[in-house]
Chain A
Amino acid sequence: MTESEIKRTEPEPAAVAKEPEKHVVLALENVSKRFCRDLKRSLFYGVKDIASELIGRAQPADRLRESEFWATRDINFELRSGDAMGIVGINGCGKTTLMRIIAGLIKPTTGRVIVRGRLAPLLALGAGFNPVLTGRENIIANMSVLGLTYEEIMERFDSVVEFSEIGYAIDAPVQTYSSGMVARLGFACAINTQPDILLLDEVLAVGDMNFRRKCLERLFEMRSTGMSLIMVHHSPGILMSIAETALYLDRGRVEDYGLIAPILKRYQRDLAASQPGAKNGPAEEDDVEILGSEEADLREVTVEAVDGGDIKSGGDAAVIARIHVKKPLEQLNFTLLLYRLPSLEELPTVGEKRSVVLKMVSRRDGGSVSKVQPGDYEVRVDLPALGLLEGHYQATFRLSRPVRVTLAARSCEPFFVMSEDPVVTGTYFQKREWSVTSSAGSRISTEKFHAAAETADDLMDLETINVGGLR
């Protein structure tokens, strides 16, 4: 199962141990919410709603009034203690609305939400910080708004300051803080309320890498003591490293609900399908697909393993481009770009660039040709001992002439690089050989890898990597 399942086998308080079945801390039953797109009308409906609330009407009509739409519709799910759920879906699918309903900020139009225990909503970091007041004063106000007594705040004050790493500026007004400092302080306040349920809405997007890692580590720690978590985050990598289940929303409805990996996969696929040309489409501006120009055409770009089998990390591969030159060219340059594509570990979302893993330029490598006559040519780039890690990739080939005039650019079909490495930690594949030699010079035989030897240590190692987002 997932990392957290493994963690949960650690000793827990006796009260929990007696009760092997984790109790439900949050339940949503047929929760729907309607919103109005027209502000004037929205305010008028607001007054009407208040009036009918005062009259004490029963269940409101399950229909839309003019200009209204369902922001969320018939949402059902349960969250048990220690569970972590991610919510995915494109902008406007109702993620934030759902979070706000769960937080109790807005009333569902139909259905109900049952919350058991203390819930800390972190829908915006440092919400309600007064810029004029010092960090110290804001901690007190913020945590008391989150439901702590003054005594409890004083007890936890030091750990908030320590976690947020702003001890040196604690008596300076918050308006002098950087946005990262404000985010750290907000996060530290929220988690130190020790909630039973934590709601995180895109709040880990701010702050530097180290702080983010620290936050993730703390979230893991808190989950192991039974805290439940619901999070909305744009990065599937972060979602995968924390949540084990996911709710996929589409136009307010639950499109899918279950284990996170298949759902993210499906969401990404839907996302790609909804964007015309996204599959082969270039994401970088300098990489617009131009199949040809008056001077030259790019007919085909393929990637293959030299031995004709699967493309493997460490194996020999080649990229082959078939070009057609129409006019004599003084000089012809080639550029080969390798992109890493959405895979389960690191799926870029809309607007996020495919990451270039390697850019190879013939001009620098001595691969350019001059005085090219019209005709058909095949350009071959050999890539011996491929250094790519397992995953999906795509290659874009570009023809250009000086000075940086692109004649044609074309991407190959996405390809998959296989790896025999069981667990890869790192950023590239290194072909290697191990040997152990005694001082006498005789070679000692080394052992083959056994899957059964995978100990808890290895798994812990994996978890640390996930937490750190090192993938």
Chain B
Amino acid sequence: MSLESGHHQTAVYGADSLLLQPGKLLLAIWHDVLACRQLAFILAVRDLRAQYRQSLFGIFWILAPPIIVAVGLTVAKKNNLIDLGDTKLPTLAFTLIGMSIWQMFATAVSGPLQVLGSYRSILTKVVVPPEAIIASSLVKLSITVVLQIVLIVFACIWFRLPVTGQTIFALPAMVCVVLSGTAIGLILTPVGLLYRDIALAIPIIEKGLLIVTPVLYTSNHLARGGFFATTVRLNPLGPLIETTRQLISGEHLTQLPQFFGVLGLMAILLVFGLIFVRVAMPLVIERWSA
């Protein structure tokens, strides 16, 4: 009787690259992404419970970074230490919103690497779809996002920011920011799981990126020429962050075409990243315990 026939699920682990049958691979990934929703949720609940059971202040640690940066910059600007340019918004609201969006992005970038690394003891013993674990980190991240949104809503009410029709699109824009960060994170994950250098480099590079991304300033305030201005203009994260902020604060959308361009790029990156992680995981696991 043939092994492949029958009602049971049949799995074949071969030496050939999974990419030799790209259609089959994509289908398998798609199937797992759909099938793993419950598992992702269970894992997220598990991790969150474990995390907060050992913490006194809990969610405070999610809200602290943007608040501290915003308050700090507000004080700095009041004392004329820095010039953030013509922000149209009160400094506190502007920096709070900017930093919140940036934190969503930054957390999303380090998410896949960090979460897969923390599942090392399980991944070396049981086959778990990596998509489920990555999705569980997105579930956890969504809690961060919700808290940031609460913070932003408070800021909007406090500063009496206009609520317009476009505000409603801020939420999908934030989802796009998170998925873009995840896409970049996925690309870094396979090598990052082997070499710790990647995990160590991410926060440092993020600090540099924060400077060349219009998070704490606006791009229309930049000088025409110069190396810095060119870098900022070419930075694909710019349109992503600025458009999201403009959607929240009800400002005029200055970079909508670029925003969609970047989204397209990120979508391709996301699919590629998922394939990358999928094919690399067994090879990483083998090196983990070899």
Residue numbers of A with Cβ under 8 A of B are 19, 21, 23-24, 27, 35-36, 42-43, 45-47, 49-50, 52-60, 100-101, 103-119, 121, 123-124, 127-128, 130, 132-133, 137, 140-141, 144-146, 149-150, 196
Which chain A residues lie closer than 8 Å to B287 at the CB level? Answer: 42-43, 45-46
Interface residues of B in 1-55 (CB under 8 A from A): 1, 3-4, 6, 8-20, 22, 38-39, 42-43, 46, 49-50, 53-54
Known contacts A27-B3, A145-B128; A107 and B46 CB within 8 A of each other: no
B38 touches A114 (CB 8 A): no
Which residue in A24, A110, A118 is a CB contact (below 8 Å) of B15? A110
Partner pick for B122 among A46, A118, A128, CB 8 A cutoff: A128
Is B124's CB within 8 Å of the partner chain A? Answer: yes
Q: Is the CB of A104 within 8 A of B127?
A: yes
Q: Within 8 Å of chain A (Cβ to Cβ): is B279?
A: yes
Cβ contacts under 8 Å, B53 to chain A: 132-133
Closest residue of chain A to B195 (Cβ to Cβ) is A43
15 further contact pairs, Cβ within 8 A, besides A104-B282, A111-B14, A128-B119: A24-B3, A36-B290, A46-B286, A50-B280, A59-B15, A104-B13, A105-B127, A107-B13, A110-B15, A112-B12, A114-B3, A116-B8, A128-B121, A141-B46, A144-B42
Contact residue among B6, B18, B279, B283 (Cβ-Cβ distance under 8 Å from A116): B6
B232 at the interface (CB under 8 A from A): no
What 6 pairs across the A-B complex have the smallest Cβ distances?
Answer: A56-B19, A128-B122, A112-B14, A46-B287, A127-B125, A106-B286
Q: Are A112 and B13 in contact (CB under 8 A)?
A: yes
**23 A-B contacts (beta carbon < 8 Å):** A21-B1, A24-B1, A35-B286, A46-B287, A47-B191, A47-B195, A50-B191, A52-B17, A53-B18, A57-B17, A58-B17, A104-B11, A104-B282, A106-B282, A107-B15, A108-B13, A108-B14, A112-B12, A114-B10, A116-B8, A127-B122, A130-B46, A150-B42
Restricting to B237-290, which residues have a CB under 8 Å from any CB of A? Answer: 276, 279-280, 282-287, 289-290
Instruction: Please name all residues of chain A whose beta carbon is closer than 8 Å to the beta carbon of B280 when the two chains form the complex.
Output: 50, 53-54
Q: In chain B, what residue has the closest Cβ to A196?
A: B8
Alpha-carbon distance between A59 and B191 when the two chains are bound, in angstroms: 22
In the assembled complex, the CB of A52 is this many whole angstroms from the nearest CB of chain B, namely 7
Known: A105-B124, A106-B282. A58 touches B16 (CB 8 A): yes
Of A54, A113, A119, A150, which is within 8 A of B19 by CB? A54
Assess whether B126 is interfacial by the CB under 8 Å rule: yes
A46-B194, A53-B280, A150-B38 are contacts. A107–B12 as well, Cβ < 8 Å?
no
Decide if B13 touches A115 in the complex (CB within 8 Å). Answer: yes
Contact B282 A114 (CB under 8 A): no
Give the docked Cα–Cα distance between A19 and B5 (Å). Answer: 14
Taking a contact as CB atoms under 8 Å apart, the answer to whether A54 and B8 are in contact is no
Contact A121 B16, beta carbon cutoff 8 Å? no
> A43 near B194 (CB under 8 angstroms)?
yes
Q: How far is the CA of A52 from the CA of B123 in the complex (A)?
A: 22
CA distance in complex: A57, B282 (Å): 16
Q: B190 near A: Cβ within 8 Å?
A: yes
- Taken together as a complex, chains A and B put the C-alpha atoms of A56 and B285 apart, in Å, by 19
CB-CB under 8 A from B119, the residues of chain A are 128
- In the complex, which of the residues A53, A104, A127, A196 contacts B283, with contact meaning CB atoms closer than 8 Å? A53
List the A residue with the shortest CB-CB distance to B196: A43
Most buried by A among B50, B124, B126, B280: B126
Smallest CB separation, A419 vs chain B (Å)? 45
Asked if A116 and B3 sit within 8 Å, CB to CB, the answer is yes
Residues of A within 8 A of B121 (CB): 127-128
**B177-197 Cβ-contact flags toward A at 8 Å (1 or 0):** 000000000000011001100
Knowing A46-B287, A133-B46, the reply to whether A107 touches B282 (Cβ < 8 A) is yes
The contact of A47 among B1, B12, B13, B194, by CB within 8 Å, is B194
Considering the complex, give the chain A residue whose CB is closest to the CB of B11.
A115
Contact present for B3 and A50 (CB under 8 Å):
no
Q: How far is the CB of B76 from chain A (nearest CB, A)?
A: 40
Contact partners of B4 in chain A: CB under 8 A: 114
The answer to whether B17 touches A56 (Cβ under 8 A) is: yes
Within 8 Å by CB of A124, from B125, B195, B286, lies B125
In the complex formed, the residue of B with least CB distance to A30 is B15
B residues in contact with A112, CB < 8 Å = 12-15
By the criterion CB–CB under 8 Å, are A140 and B42 in contact? Answer: yes
* A38, chain B: closest CB distance, angstroms: 10
User: Hey, which chain A residues are within 8 Å of B284, CB to CB?
Assistant: 46, 50
The residue from A101, A105, A106, A118 contacting B9, defined by CB atoms under 8 A apart: A118
Q: How far is the CA of A42 from the CA of B4 in the complex (A)?
A: 34
Look across to chain A and name the residue whose beta carbon is closest to the beta carbon of B12: A114
**Which residues from B are CB-within-8-Å of A36?**
290
Taking the closest CB of chain B, its distance from the CB of A197, in whole angstroms, is: 10
Per the bound structure, the CA–CA distance linking A47 and B18 in Å amounts to 16
| Closest chain A residue to B25, Cβ basis | A56
Query: Nearest CB to that of A106 among chain B residues?
Result: B286
A397, B94: Cα distance in complex, Å: 91
CB-defined contacts of B42 to chain A, threshold 8 Å? 140-141, 144, 150
Least CB separation from A109: chain B residue: B15
Q: How far is the CB of B14 from chain A (nearest CB, A)?
A: 4
A144 and B38 within 8 A (CB) = yes
Are the CB atoms of B8 and A117 closer together than 8 Å? Answer: yes
Q: How far is the CA of A195 from the CA of B190 in the complex (A)?
A: 30
Q: A residues within 8 A CB of B289?
A: 100
Q: Are A117 and B9 in contact (CB under 8 A)?
A: yes
* Chain A residue contacts of B54, Cβ below 8 A: 132
B283 touches A49 (CB 8 A): yes
- A24–B5 Cα gap in the complex (Å)? 11
Cross-chain contact of A130 among B11, B12, B20, B50 (Cβ < 8 A): B50
Say how far A206's CB is from chain B's closest CB, in angstroms: 15
Chain B residue nearest to A201 in the complex (CB): B125
- Residue of B whose beta carbon sits closest to that of A117: B8
- Tell me if B3 and A53 are in contact (CB < 8 A): no
Give chain A nearest CB distance to B288 CB in angstroms. 9
Instruction: Flag if B6 contacts A103 (CB, 8 Å).
Output: no
Residues of chain A contacted by B126 (CB below 8 angstroms)? 103, 105, 121, 123, 127-128, 145-146
Are B46 and A23 interface neighbours, CB within 8 A? no
**Shortest beta-carbon distance, B281 to chain A, in Å?**
9
